[in-house]
Amino acid sequence: MKVFITWSGEASRAFAQALRGWLPAVIQGVKPYFSPEDVAKGSRWSSEIARQLQEARVGILCLTRQNLDAPWLLFEAGALSKSLDRSRVCPALFGVDPAELTGPLAQFQAARFSREEMRLLIATINDELGDAKVPEGLLGAAFDKWWPDLDERVSELLSLPQAAMDREPDLTDDFAKLIRSLTVAWNRARDAGAKDVLPALTSLDQAIGDLITKLGEHIRATELERLARQRDADV
């Protein structure tokens, strides 16, 4: 079962990467998708990520205080919310309180990074496996076995200098406004069931679909380029 993990920023990326390696240890039937490592060589960012978003049964948003307004994360959260039930879009909070979530992110049931709330997140993911889900007793035993590993890795993030956690991609205001506005508009129209609004939004979505794809590619490429420069500088 595909689990799409979305992130933005260095702390969020490290959090997402830790989850990617940890989830299959607890639930072997889970296959996390985490870019950039899981993008096939030669694939276009837009088509590959769009396909993964459609195939995902669960979405995990790795949220930190620094990326609550990150346009790429909001874009992927909006895409997940259109294809999945809200109960299957799960913000995982790292150093953030649920009360701090606003806008589109506030509609989801969030889980703080704590033993008990992450256990509930694992149970939600396991339920999506249907007949193939892990029995409750075995799931609890697997969680208890592997939780210390994740807790240790994430605790290391807490020891990073605050400046390192605060760095975010330098994105243009136009990109951010466009992606945020489209996501909010879709969610509001869907929730209200406004028949007169949906056709207009559908037409708008089709008209600027290619532009959104290009913006998404640019945002992700810019972020990865920045991370690569930082990694090279640290060597």
For 110-152, what is each residue's pLDDT tens digit?
Answer: 999 999 999 999 999 999 999 999 999 999 999 999 999 999 9
pTM for the model: 0.68
pLDDT at 187: 60
Per DSSP, the three-state class of 223 is: helix
Nearest-CA neighbor of 95 among 130, 68, 75, 125? 68
Nearest-CA neighbor of 18 among 150, 118, 122? 150
- 18: pLDDT confidence band, cut at 50, 70 and 90? very high
State the burial class of residue 169 (Cβ atoms within 10 Å of its Cβ: 0-12, 13-18, 19+).
buried
- C-alpha span between 103 and 187 (Å, rounded): 10
Instruction: Dump pLDDT digits (tens) for 25-39.
Output: 999 999 999 876 544
Q: Which domains, ranges and CATH numbers included, belong to the chain?
A: 2-166 (3.40.50.10140)
Nearest-CA neighbor of 10 among 67, 61, 71, 74? 67
**Residue 60 backbone dihedrals phi, psi, to 5 degrees:** -115, 125
pLDDT at 201: 54
- C-alpha span between 67 and 95 (Å, rounded): 11
- 41: pLDDT confidence band, cut at 50, 70 and 90? very low
Instruction: Dump pLDDT digits (tens) for 78-113.
Output: 888 877 776 689 999 998 999 999 888 888 999 999
pLDDT at 205 over 60: no
Nearest-CA neighbor of 93 among 66, 72, 70, 74? 66
